Amino acid sequence: MEEEDERDEQEKEINEQEEEEKGRRRRRRRWKEMMLLMMRRRRYKEEEEDMEEEEERKEEEEKEEEESTGRKRRRRWRRRKRWRRKRGDEREEGGVGGGGEGAEKGDGGGGEPGGGEGGEEGGGRKGGGGEGGEMMRKRRMKRRDEEEEEMEEEKEEETEE
C-alpha cells in the first residue's frame, strides 16, 4: 500500500511538474508570439513611414524639377526676346505655330520667317527641317522680290524727278 501511495504521489508530482512545464511553455510561446507581433507591427509601421517619406521626397523632387524647367523655359524665352530685339524683328512675321504659340510648339525663333512650322516638323531656328525650310525659303524669296520691287520703284521715282 505504501509503495502504491508513494507511486501515486510521485506520479502526482510528475504530473504537476509536467503541467507547470506545459504552462511555462505555453506562456513562453504566447510571449514570443506577442513579441513577434509587436516587432512585425513596428516594422510595418516603419516601412509605411519610409514609404511616405519616399513619396514626399519624390513629390518635392518633381516640384523642384517643374520649377527649374519653368525657370529654364522663362530664361530661354527672355534670351530669345533679347536676341530678337537686337535683330529688330520682334515677332514680325512668325511662322505657322510661331508667333502666337511661342516657346512650346514651334517657336522656331518666332519672328524669323518660316520658323514656326519648322518647330513642329523638327526644325526651328533656321527653318531647319520638314516644311520649315521650305516655308522659310518661300518667305525669303518673297521678301527679296518685295525689296527688289521697292528698289525698282525708288529708282523709277528718282529717274522721273
Q: How far apart are CA 104 and CA 43, in angstroms?
A: 47
pLDDT tens for 70-81 read 777 888 888 888
Q: Which three cell numbers stand for residue 102?
A: 511661342
Q: What percent of the chain has pLDDT over 70?
A: 71
Question: What per-residue confidence (pLDDT) applies to 96?
Answer: 46
CA 67 to chain centre: 10
Question: What per-residue confidence (pLDDT) applies to 161?
Answer: 67
Q: Which three cell numbers stand for residue 122?
A: 523638327
Instruction: Give the CB-side neighbour count of residue 11, counting CA atoms within 13 A.
Output: 6
pLDDT band, very low/low/confident/very high, at 127 (cuts 50, 70, 90): very low
Whole-prediction pTM = 0.32
Q: What is the distance between the terminal CA atoms of the chain, rounded to a whole angstrom?
A: 159
pLDDT tens for 106-123 read 444 444 444 444 444 444
User: What average pLDDT score do residues 59-63 get?
Assistant: 91
Question: What per-residue confidence (pLDDT) applies to 15?
Answer: 95
